[in-house]
Structure 1
Amino acid sequence: MNAGQPALRLSGREVFFYVFLPFASGHYLSALLRTVNAVLAPDLVASLALSPAQLGLLTSAFFVSFALVQLPVGIALDRYGPRKVQLVLLAVAAAGALMFASGDSFLELMLARTVIGFGLGGCFMAAVKAISTWIDPARLPSVQGFLIAIGGLGAASATAPVRAALHYMDWRGLFVILALLLACTAFLIWSATPRLAQAPKAKSDVPVIASIAAVYRDPAFRKTISLILIPHAVFFGIQGLWIGRWLSDVARFPDHAVVYLLYLSMAAVIFGAIAVGMITEWAGKRGVKPLDVAGIGIALFIAVQVAIVCNWKPSFQLLSVLFTLIGTITGIEYAIVAQSMPKSLTGRAATCLNLLIFVGAFVVQAGFGLLVGLWEPNHLGHYPATAYRVAFGVLVLLQLPGLLSFALRRSRPASAAAGLSIRLPSTP
């Protein structure tokens, strides 16, 4: 038996309770903590007199630390396995949550938020690594679809449930409870997840930098990111902020209608992620590759954005939900990478991918705001539809080359096969 292979075979029920559920719980809490500041913003401003710039910097500190920790986490996952790595990282996140609960200044809260980001930086990748160890690779897309859906549930839990909890406690008490939940999740992963037959090697014959470079040079990795990376960054960057602003500024919906549509969007993420996994698995049984499924989904995702650029007024509500529903196809990127890369590099490959996605999402979110800001708002503070049409148009132009390159690659094998059949001499 090779190093890092399962010591025993688990039934589907055992994989769910001993592997999927513990690691999915970590991903759930990660998504909740990533988005909780949107609801807590009024309380944080009132408690510490934060300026809008400070509030923005405080919230973004999570993403910066989350991105920075990706490569070290990937290396650790490959060397020590997800069980040990998550025990340490979730303990760090719990400490960060306690720091946040006791913070009395902007700098203290920003430091705590950074620590939380470091501690939660491996939740999704550790889950991917653990799950891919114990299940058939052909089932990865559907299982990871459920994992992404649980992340959507965590983000949804950071809205109305958190607001309801604040009727019984302040934000400091909330973070104490979150710290306890993080610690309990770390213990659950350590105690419930089966140990591997042999621990992953502490050292690799390939130097760390060389192995990371090998990930980026791998043809399967490059084909995957050339098609899906930019749409994935667009999905993360726009869904988390600008769809709501677009509904307010362009569609001119009142605040309660915007909140309702954003709730629907969260539900769309959950159901969309599950549907993508099931469709991909169904297509795989019929000989359709996951990357081909992704190509169709990306084309539809871009089509939704083209409709936004065209200012399709009769269906503003539908477009806002379709953006998140179809945009969940980008989550298939993780499954494709996990299936196509060598087992010894799956953790590193997944975290390299995560690093690119989060950096890309930051660029998209900031760049979109800069483009919209080139126009002047009206007396109510609403930016014109033209500003959003231009910004979405730029995003469409950035995504089209990857889709066109994918289409050209798909057409080449058929053309080459046709040419080969013509040139081959007949057998005597």
Structure 2
Amino acid sequence: MRLGIAALVVGYVLSQFYRAFLAVLSPALQADLGATPVQLADASGLWFLIFALAQIPVGYALDRVGPRRTVAVLLAIGGAGGTAVFAGATTPGAISLAMALIGIGCAPVLMSAFYIFARTYPPAVFGTLAGVLIGVGSMGNLGAALPLSLAVEAFGWRGTVWALCALTLVVALVLWRTVQDPPPAPAPEGPGGMREILMRPAMWAVFAMLLVNYAPSGAIRGLWVGPYGAQVLGLDAAGIGALTLAMGLAMVVGNFAYGPMDRVFGTRKGVVLWGNLIGVACLAVLWVWPAPGYLAAMLLLAAVGCFGMSFPLLMAHGRAFFPPHLVGRGVTLCNLFAIGGVGLFQMLSGRVYDAARAPGAPPEAAFATLFGFFALVLAAGCLAYAFSRDRTD
């Protein structure tokens, strides 16, 4: 079981890497394929939307056939296959197709680990285990920053992506060999599946927060931090890599920090709510002061990343309402809202940015509107979540 969990951590590193690597590859894709910022925003958003939609069949598969076959097969076909399409792409449309396939491949990785945690370990430590897993897995965010930019400079973007294709296939094979399925849980008589989960009123405020919680940090780190660093802060490739690295490190710290906070403070709702309100405040500062200088911008973006990592506690909050036979579908439905929100708002962010650009206006004006958009979205989620029912194990 430990070898299987270790392999799932490596798989989650790849998942985090793929959701963020377009921010570094975007200049090369614009130059070689003629991809526009809106097309790249759509491609990145498509990864999240397809990933989110895949949670429904993934949840069913986890409950019915187990995590081993679910994660290994999808990562091999979708993950390795999608990176092969990416490496051979000649048009922006091929990049979108590749990102959709990679999203399918990555969809079961984290949820397979969560399923094993929920079925194998005491409920009280679910948030801590989830935070550690996401924190370690977020090293993929770091790999998609300065190390990726250096690899692209040394081997070109196509050579780098072909190497990622081979690595993804190897990880899928290791998952097939090492992941062990927990014994199936008996299902009681009566209604079940997604309908039973959606009929639980206590979940809807949690779903509202999940929809927006990861959207600002995921979209900014995964797409907008590169253009922001180049256009507003005047950074070169190395400077952008350092900026993305700082935000990625802060996101790693946030995941580790949030995990045990429910046991420290005796509340999940309070920790999630106050952490995200701090994120709203940081985005609001960037809204009214979009060009604060390199150091201030780095600190504010790092804070947005750190305080936007309450996903492990939100998953633990939702997990507390699920019976054992619905754990797979429950955690994947929560993930659908979280990842779907990133995809939805990432696509919307491309339109917001495009609409905010005006001839002759400084570039920071469009980014101010973008940060304001994310601040309002996150504030709305916090307002809905304030009415949630706290639940600890």
Shorter-chain TM-score above 0.5: yes
> Do structure 1's residue 292 and structure 2's residue 270 form an aligned pair?
yes
Residues 248 and 204 of structure 1: CA distance in aligned 2, closer, same or farther (over 3 Å) = farther
Q: Is structure 2 residue 62 aligned with structure 1 residue 77? A: yes
Residues 290-331 of structure 1, C-alpha deviations (whole Å, 9 max, x = no match): 233223323333333344455495954432221111111244
Change beyond 3 A, Cα 1:96–1:219: same
Offset at residue 73 of structure 1 (A) = 0.8
1:176 and 1:386 map into 2 onto residues whose CA distance is 37
1:304 aligns with 2:286: no
- What is the rounded CA distance, in whole Å, between the counterparts of 1:356 and 1:135 in structure 2? 25
Superposed, 1:123-202 pairs within 5 Å as 123-196=109-182, 198-199=183-184
Q: Identify if the C-alpha distance between structure 1 residues 366 and 59 changes in structure 2 by more than 3 Å, giving closer, same or farther.
A: closer
Instruction: Give the Å deviation of 1:115.
Output: 1.9
Change (3 A) 1:254 1:126: same
Q: Which amino acid aligns with 2:270?
A: D
Letter in 2 for 1:150: V
Q: How does 1:213-362 map to 2 (within 5 A)?
A: 213-242=195-224, 252-256=232-236, 259-283=241-265, 288-309=266-287, 311=289, 315-362=296-343
Cα 1:405/1:150, change in 2 over 3 Å = same
- Asked if the contact 1:58–1:113 (Cα under 8 Å) also holds between the matched residues in 2, the reply is yes
- Using the TM superposition, give the Cα deviation of residue 158 of structure 1 relative to its aligned residue in structure 2, in angstroms: 1.6
RMSD (Å), alpha carbons: 3.2
Deviations 1:88-139 (A, max 9, x none): 1112122222333344455444433322221111111112112222322222
TM norm structure 2 = 0.83
Compute the displacement of 1:276 (Å).
1.0
SS at match of 2:214: helix
Report how many residues are paired. Answer: 383
What residue ranges of structure 1 are gaps of 5+ in the alignment?
A: 1-14, 411-428
Kept in 1: contact 2:80–2:165 (CA 8 A): yes
Gap regions ≥5 residues in structure 2: none
Q: 2:82 aligns with which of 91, 96, 104?
A: 96
Instruction: Look up the equivalent residue of 2:10 and give its one-letter code.
Output: S
CA shift digits 1:160-211 (9 cap, x unpaired): 2222223453433333322222222222222223343x4467x99667xx52
In structure 2, do the counterparts of structure 1 residues 44 and 365 end up closer, same or farther at CA, with 3 Å as the change threshold? closer
Distance 1:199-1:184 versus aligned 2 partners, 3 A rule: farther
Q: Which amino acid aligns with 1:91?
A: A
Percentage identity across aligned positions?
Answer: 25
Shift in alpha-carbon separation, 1:173–1:199, aligned structure 2, 3 A: farther
CA contact (8 A) 1:261 1:317 kept: yes
TM-score, normalised to structure 1, is: 0.77
* C-alpha distance after superposition, 1:246-281 (max 9, x if no partner): 6677xx433155553332111100111111113334
- The structure with the larger Rg is 1
- Contact 1:276–1:328 (CA<8 Å) still a contact in 2? yes
How far apart are residue 23 of structure 1 and its match? 0.8
Q: What is the distance in 2 between the residues matched to 1:247 and 1:43?
A: 16
